[in-house]
Amino acid sequence: ARHLLGIEHLTQEDIRTVLDLADTYVDLNRRTVKHSDALAGMTQINMFFENSTRTQASFELAGKRLGADVMNMSMQTSSVKKGETLIDTAMTLNAMHPDLLVVRHGASGAVNLLAEKVNCAVLNAGDGKHEHPTQALLDALTIRRAKGRIQRLTVAICGDVAHSRVARSNLILLNKMENRIRLIGPPTLMPAGISEFGCEVSDDMREGLRDADVVMMLRLQKERMDGGFIPSEREYFHRYGLDAEKLSYAKEDAIVMHPGPMNRGVEIDGTIADDINRSVIQDQVEMGVAVRMACMDLLARNLRQERGRALTEGT
């Protein structure tokens, strides 16, 4: 494929290919390799229209470790602020001949639209409530390294499912890899008809966490609740926040995940988040670099092949 726009376009084999390649970018000390020339001579532009710490930093680091020329567009100071549209902005950057565009945008579908207009590979770094494919892939790699497999696991995804592109991409990936998925959260934060995706739905943390292998917490995304019901943080933590008592319903060796940024004391107790025997939250960040290196490496190979074919056909 030319782009990485969502997990929904990937097969089981594609997912394994990414994870296997990402594994080769992590050494025995769980450090991502520092240098390769997989993207040598290529230009990567990161366009983040929404805030980010982990995704932007790890895409930048991944590109640099693969030898690309990496440019971070500062969207806050760009001509977007003067009213330039997403597509005009993308076409302007496209005219500078980048090879890879990494895009985060607040509107679902915006990255797919942009991908239709440019000549390079586009990686979706999160679009609205739609998809965050590299997050689901890094979560899968973290699970596989902790549990030794990425199928036949019971995974509980908890909290604000309705506003979460992380939940959506994970749900699609974990389903494709034949896991048992439970979604737990208040009915007001659960998308209508979600059980049709082949998962169990519950509003009771203790029931939903029972015998889970993986407990994946989600951030309460107040910024996406425009005018809708916003739960009180105290009440939310009481009913849906992960603490030691609720976690005791999961398997004894269950791992705890959170994509970040975390609201400590809202969706997760700080002591659970920091418990190195249960929490793999820092591993998720580490695997993020390796997975993004693998995704860009694979897309760059496809791009080189495509350009090679075009050259041969043109001569």
Q: Which residues bind ligand CP (CB under 6 A)?
A: 52-55, 126, 135, 259-261
Nearer CB in complex with ligand CP: 108/151: 108
CB 125, min distance to ligand CP, A: 7
CB of 54 to ligand CP, least distance (A): 4
Which is nearer to ligand CP, 101 or 303 (by Cβ)? Answer: 101
CB nearer to ligand CP: give 67 or 106: 106
Smallest distance, Å, CB 126 to ligand CP? 6
Minimum distance from residue 85 beta carbon to ligand CP (Å): 23
CB-nearer residue toward ligand CP: 53 or 79: 53
In whole angstroms, how close is the CB of 135 to ligand CP at the nearest point? Answer: 5
Give the shortest CB-154-to-ligand CP separation in angstroms. Answer: 23
Nearer to ligand CP, 6 or 259 (CB): 259
Q: How far is the CB of 60 from ligand CP (least distance, A)?
A: 11
CB of 53 or CB of 195, closer to ligand CP? 53
DSSP string spanning the chain? ---B--GGG--HHHHHHHHHHHHHTB-TTS-B-S---TTTT-EEEEEESS--SHHHHHHHHHHHHTT-EEEEE-GGGSGGGGT--HHHHHHHHHTT--SEEEEEESSTTHHHHHHTT-SSEEEEEEETTTB-HHHHHHHHHHHHHHHS-SSS-EEEEES--TT-HHHHHHHHHHHHTT-EEEEES-GGGS-TTGGGGT-EEES-HHHHHTT-SEEEE----GGG-TTS----HHHHHHHH-B-HHHHTTS-TT-EEE--S---BTTTB-HHHHT-TTTB-HHHHHHHHHHHHHHHHHHHHHHHHHHHHHHHHHH-
Q: Which residue is nearest to ligand CP (CB)?
A: 55
Nearest to ligand CP of 124, 179 (CB atom) = 124
